[in-house]
Chains A and B, each alone.
Chain A
Amino acid sequence: DAGITQSPRHKVTETGTPVTLRCHQTENHRYMYWYRQDPGHGLRLIHYSYGVKDTDKGEVSDGYSVSRSKTEDFLLTLESATSSQTSVYFCAISSGGGGYTFGSGTRLTVV
């Protein structure tokens, strides 16, 4: 989607390895979010950020950490990947006025 990119688009990793997913925006929006999407669960919030170095936990934050050192980048790290973290991960941005703009997603498989 215009203004927001996620990388990588696909990744296969082994159990126990660290993984970092990147979200980059060119909209200068204050708010950024990481969600995971799983069948039967919809989209669940992992972490979010309301400014540089200001982050907070969402509903499914265990096993994940985030960092935001610049307005445009929001990183999601799986410190030690587990099979339960196999999912599609979406980043979203918001100016605070309501709607989100989502990225195209990262499909992560932990084997």
Chain B
Amino acid sequence: GENVEQHPSTLSVQEGDSAVIKCTYSDSASNYFPWYKQELGKGPQLIIDIRSNVGEKKDQRIAVTLNKTAKHFSLHITETQPEDSAVYFCAASSGWNYGGATNKLIFGTGTLLAVQP
């Protein structure tokens, strides 16, 4: 089955700096890669996702890149702010397609991001 590895497990940056979190996946059939942000005491929240037919996607200060050949994808946060402090999870799915496949997500182990003011 799919296995997702995520690094680093903790990341501390100064406010205004960039943060990068990296994930690798094992199943070459995986075709959907979301990123979730989890604040303390809350459930994970989808912040950005990318599908295998796209190499990069941006949404304001966050971006995700995908390298299918190397089977890795990364989350980039620019101009970090204290409110970006949270746990971030990557995930991969090999079951996604339009029309309603089960889309089981396999998650990485998470990265605790601390943005120092």
A residues adjacent to B (C-beta < 8 A): 1, 30-31, 33, 35, 40-45, 48, 50, 56, 58-59, 90, 92, 94, 96-105
Contacts and interface: CB of A to CB of B under 8 A. Distances in A.
A48 B104 contact: yes
A100 B106 CA distance: 12
B99 interface: yes
Contacts of B99: 96
B106 A45 contact: yes
What size tier do the contact residues of chain B reach? 20 to 34
A102 B96 contact: no
A26 B108 CA distance: 28
Contacts of B32: 98
Contact of B42 (A40, A43, A104): A104
Which DSSP category, helix, strand, loop or mixed, fits chain B's interface?
loop
A101 B89 CA distance: 14
A1 to B, nearest CB: 6
Interface of B: 1, 6, 32, 34, 36, 41-46, 49, 51, 89, 91, 96, 98-110
Contacts of A90: 43-44
A1 B91 CA distance: 20
B33 to A, nearest CB: 10
A40 B107 CA distance: 12
A98 B105 CA distance: 9
B50 to A, nearest CB: 10
Contact of B104 (A40, A41, A45): A45
